[in-house]
Structure 1
Amino acid sequence: MKRLRDSWLTFVKKLPRAYSGRPMAFAVLLGLSALNFCSEWPQGIPRPAWIDTYDRILPDSFGSARQLLFDHFQRWFPRVPASQPVIIVAIDDKTLAAAGQWPWPRNRLANLIDAIAAQKPLAIGLDIYMPEADQTSPDKVAGNLPASAAALAAGLRALPSHEAILARSLRAAPSVLGAAASAHATADTSTDLRSAPILVHGTDPLESVLRFDYVLASLPELQAAAHGQAMLNVALEQGTVRRVPLIMGLGNKLVPGMPVEMLRVATASPLVEVFAYPSGVQAVGVADVQVPTQPNGEIWLHFASIRATQNRYVSAVDVMQRKAGAERMRNKLVLVGLTGTGLTDIRATPLGELVPGIEVQAQVIETIFDGRFLQRPAWLKLGESLFIIAFGMLIIWYVPRTDSRLAVFIRAVPKSSAILGIALNLLLLLSCVLVFRYFGLLIDAASIFIIESVVMGSFFSTALLEDEAQKRQDAAREQVRNSGKTGAGKVFDGALARWKRIHRSSK
């Protein structure tokens, strides 16, 4: 047993230096390539169950570096808006100071919608959901009056409810109500939503898209009056919005996101079209517009700086007081949302900015109009993996060769290996930046750099091990050579050394 253990330890010690370190580098290449592939399993390819276990053990193994690189692509080249199809009517601090705190009575919100509709927009989307009845409605107030005020209570009950007033305004305007999908049931959630039909071309994509069982939506009376219902959910990764779903699953049906439903209402289209393959969603279409998506129905959003979009904001109080320009909202897509202090859902973008949630929906619509889509299709991940393995194999085959031009160059030029490594990585980064800039493709240069650098590093480790082993062997030989000499031999060596010193000094 001891002999077997010693043999195994000897084998393990020699393994890193075997065949100039190639087996060790090959193992590193395959191992890291597998980790990278599993960290971002391509959508549309059947996902083994053990990948979930891997995600729990090694969460985000390459994801942070990948997302950081993609964020920097956007910071270097933010989208420059080419059009302004969206106006945001903001319920801001100025509005709240003039019209009262939020939530408003529904009849006041109806007045705002009427004022917007008077300017003839193509669609009005509300980044607001109202699952509960308005407690300031006349019938609710009547229910709280004492018995002595029976006549007053009867008069109040004869008035239309605030929900009825708001429903009338929603019916008269090209309105879209927002809703929020939820994975958990609460007192205000439901399991269904009134939404426009979705026509699927190809394979049913319900298993590919983000899917939820519950939704926080407005009252059925308001849903019936509005011209559309849409989801407001965005995809968050470490607190940052990078992707937005255009369609989602609610129970056993597909429902649209706010940008798609706004386009449907604006174009008076009867339905939303989804083009899907067995691998997932390919595109989402409305009228003659088709938006390419990821297999799960999301799009990567190319953000414009908030500084470039400030002119799309109009204070709601200016709209209600008819102070906004008469043509400001004509033939525009108008989004109504909360931006007042403490009321809005603040979102972080890849540009490092904090924006109101309604701004994200506006940027999606603007991106569709401009046609500036970012894409990371499944074939790109496969191509990256093949490139990593192919380039890694080239390194493994070529670098250890002592007779190669590379080896001669490295021996002849000081610090050439560092210079060469930096040059190759800068070339890789520049190529990925250009592809992003002109084609909108997100190439994961970070994972390529990490894996290939570790493979190169494994050869340096092998060289250090060989150098250390060589030093130990030389020391052992010197010790054996010295210990094998007799006393007379040592005396002779000393006398010879003294004679050489005297001879040199007499010259």
Structure 2
Amino acid sequence: MKAAQGRPVALVVLFGLSLLNLSSEWPSNLARPAFVRALDDALPDSFKTARQLLFDQFQRHYPRTPTAQPVTIVEIDEETLASVGQWPWPRNRLAVLIDAIAAHKPLAIGLDIYMPEPDQTSPDKVADNLPKTAAALAAALRALPGHDAILAGSLHAAPTILGAAALDHATLTTSTDLRSAPILLHGADPLPRVQRYDFVLASLPQLQAAAHGQAMLSVALEQGVVRHIPLIMGLGEKLVPSLPLEMLRVATDSSAIEVFADTSGVQAVGVADVQVPTQPRGDIWLHFASIRSTLSRYVSARDILQGTVEPERLRDKLVLVGLTGAGVTDMRTTPLGELVPGIEIQAQVIETIFEGRFLLRPTWLKWAESAFIMGFGLLIIWYVPRKQSRFAVFIRAFPKGVTALGLFLHLLNLLCCFYIFIRFGLLVDAAAIFIILSAVMGCFLSPALLHLQEQTRTDTAAAQAQESARDAAGKAPGA
């Protein structure tokens, strides 16, 4: 059988593609050899893109359905801006909003807002711009409390958390440190494994000192899509929490955030009696709910300022405050293909932690996939070229049935991985299994089918020659 000629090529394809697949998602607990790094640099994202698109499709066909609503988003929307004034507001106006939210007794208030510079509308700043002839007015203005001081008072009086943005480069308003709650480590130091930054865009030190917590708002973008969210990050030489994690700490009145790690990286993070399994880099794959199922969590800041909001929308809730008005918000694309405000992603992280429904792709799963691919691939290489195997007989009898069989097996692979996603929340890479095993099978089927076609043509030509010879013999004289 001509398929046997494909064995050497199939072995090269199997081992080569398996190595390329492994290099695109190298386990963090192993040192990365130089040739693997060179391979990944030469062929970046070789399997990563297919893997991500597959996981996106899993979520699109089975989005998370929220079973609880612990979060309320107070949105500074277009209606609020139209009634209160354009953004940025004077800080005393923002203080009024925080006071109005706090009056309804939420568990915590997280602000998706950066305030790295002093409020230029504060009375003392206005006084600095007055002419010398208005000295009396300037003195009277300087006697008034500054807007930053007013906001600091509101932040201190309520269970507030200020958000900050991690940056890789310095600007006029960045710093290298963030006032944050203690991190209690269990196990190895995870700092070398987590996403690290050198600079942070945070609020004024006066505001940080007044708030009950500070946290990062950063999300991980891959080809413009948010798929996983870091719960713990590095800022310089210290660990800092994400906003959802810090809000849970403040809401439970915990003194510290716990991080459980080993030599491979972060295994879990914990607050109070809640423990969240993570990827080695301290992030989680987020199982997104459609924005259509979460719209009820949004409350306009205008309604709160006007006192028309229902108290139960805020009482005992984790409240996120952010901008959603057109032109003033950061919009993010989710795996569901939806464009949502960045603050919605923070809300979904909290919601996921409350529900305990996590997507997982542990290190052992990559090894299990690789073992399955190698085992099944070697089985194909050993079995398919055997002349008297049932598969060989099947190919000779039904050459076109090979395509149907291949499609059935790949569909079975996809359905099994999708079932594991639904049942256990595990992200199994069916794309790599499909690509590598298809390539291995192609090494045999192509020459075998070509040989079968040649043999069929030869047999047909021989039959036609015999038929012609019989016809000629029948027409001969004396026949």
Query: 1-side partners of 2:280 and 2:69: how far apart?
Result: 28
Counterpart check, 1:229 vs 2:214 = yes
Query: 2-side partners of 1:231 and 1:274: how far apart?
Result: 16
Counterpart check, 1:66 vs 2:51 = yes
> What SS does the aligned partner of 2:97 have?
helix
Greater CA radius of gyration, 1 or 2?
1
Preserved contact between residue 128 and residue 177 of structure 1 (Cα < 8 Å): yes
Query: 1-side partners of 2:292 and 2:186: how far apart?
Result: 40
Equivalence for 2:104: 119
Counterpart check, 1:303 vs 2:288 = yes
Counterpart check, 1:159 vs 2:144 = yes
Structure 2: state its 5+ residue gaps: 463-468
Equivalence for 1:94: 79
Deviation at 1:81, TM superposition (A): 0.4
Q: 1:304 to 1:468 in 2, by over 3 A?
A: closer
- Of the three residues 462, 473, 478, the one matched with 1:500 is 473
Preserved contact between residue 259 and residue 268 of structure 2 (Cα < 8 Å): yes
Counterpart check, 1:263 vs 2:236 = no
Preserved contact between residue 189 and residue 215 of structure 1 (Cα < 8 Å): yes
Query: 1-side partners of 2:310 and 2:471: how far apart?
Result: 105
Preserved contact between residue 192 and residue 250 of structure 1 (Cα < 8 Å): yes
Which amino acid in the other structure matches residue 220 of structure 1?
A: P
Equivalence for 2:178: 193
> What SS does the aligned partner of 2:7 have?
helix
> What SS does the aligned partner of 1:130 have?
coil
Q: 1:465 to 1:412 in 2, by over 3 A?
A: closer
Equivalence for 1:371: 356
- Of the three residues 243, 252, 256, the one matched with 2:228 is 243
Q: State the identity %.
A: 69
Query: 2-side partners of 1:381 and 1:85: how far apart?
Result: 34
Equivalence for 2:345: 360
Query: 2-side partners of 1:331 and 1:424: how far apart?
Result: 51
> What SS does the aligned partner of 1:234 have?
coil
Deviation at 1:141, TM superposition (A): 0.3
Counterpart check, 1:145 vs 2:127 = no
Equivalence for 1:439: 424
Preserved contact between residue 182 and residue 216 of structure 1 (Cα < 8 Å): yes
Q: 1:18 to 1:193 in 2, by over 3 A?
A: same
Aligned residues: 471
Equivalence for 2:371: 386
Query: 2-side partners of 1:19 and 1:333: how far apart?
Result: 64
Deviation at 1:46, TM superposition (A): 2.2
Counterpart check, 1:178 vs 2:160 = no
Q: 1:266 to 1:99 in 2, by over 3 A?
A: same
Counterpart check, 1:291 vs 2:281 = no
> What SS does the aligned partner of 2:130 have?
coil
Q: 1:462 to 1:161 in 2, by over 3 A?
A: same
Counterpart check, 1:31 vs 2:4 = no
Deviation at 1:406, TM superposition (A): 1.7
Query: 1-side partners of 2:153 and 2:181: how far apart?
Result: 20
Preserved contact between residue 81 and residue 308 of structure 1 (Cα < 8 Å): yes
Equivalence for 1:312: 297
| TM-score, normalization by structure 2 | 0.94
Equivalence for 1:212: 197
User: Per-residue CA shift, 1:229-260, capped at 9, x if unaligned?
Assistant: 00000010000000000000000000000010
> What SS does the aligned partner of 1:327 have?
helix
Query: 2-side partners of 1:47 and 1:248: how far apart?
Result: 22
Preserved contact between residue 108 and residue 318 of structure 2 (Cα < 8 Å): yes
Which amino acid in the other structure matches residue 366 of structure 2?
A: K
Equivalence for 2:336: 351
Counterpart check, 1:421 vs 2:394 = no
| TM-score, normalization by structure 1 | 0.89
Deviation at 1:53, TM superposition (A): 3.4
Which amino acid in the other structure matches residue 85 of structure 2?
A: G
Equivalence for 1:78: 63
User: Per-residue CA shift, 1:117-146, capped at 9, x if unaligned?
Assistant: 000000000001110111100010000000
Which amino acid in the other structure matches residue 291 of structure 2?
A: I
Which amino acid in the other structure matches residue 447 of structure 2?
A: T
Counterpart check, 1:110 vs 2:83 = no
Query: 1-side partners of 2:142 and 2:260: how far apart?
Result: 50
Deviation at 1:23, TM superposition (A): 1.0
> What SS does the aligned partner of 2:104 have?
coil
Which amino acid in the other structure matches residue 368 of structure 1?
A: I
Query: 2-side partners of 1:50 and 1:225: how far apart?
Result: 51
Deviation at 1:24, TM superposition (A): 1.0
Query: 1-side partners of 2:35 and 2:212: how far apart?
Result: 44
Q: 1:115 to 1:49 in 2, by over 3 A?
A: farther
User: Per-residue CA shift, 1:176-217, capped at 9, x if unaligned?
Assistant: 000011111111110000000000000010001001111000
Preserved contact between residue 44 and residue 208 of structure 1 (Cα < 8 Å): no
Query: 2-side partners of 1:244 and 1:358: how far apart?
Result: 13
Query: 1-side partners of 2:312 and 2:132: how far apart?
Result: 51
Deviation at 1:19, TM superposition (A): 4.5
> What SS does the aligned partner of 2:311 have?
coil
Which amino acid in the other structure matches residue 395 of structure 2?
A: I
Query: 1-side partners of 2:354 and 2:221: how far apart?
Result: 24
Query: 2-side partners of 1:401 and 1:18: how far apart?
Result: 8
Q: 1:468 to 1:441 in 2, by over 3 A?
A: same
Preserved contact between residue 119 and residue 329 of structure 1 (Cα < 8 Å): yes
Which amino acid in the other structure matches residue 500 of structure 1?
A: A
Query: 2-side partners of 1:62 and 1:442: how far apart?
Result: 14
> What SS does the aligned partner of 2:227 have?
strand
Q: 1:112 to 1:20 in 2, by over 3 A?
A: same
Q: 1:49 to 1:121 in 2, by over 3 A?
A: farther
Equivalence for 1:396: 381
Which amino acid in the other structure matches residue 144 of structure 1?
A: N
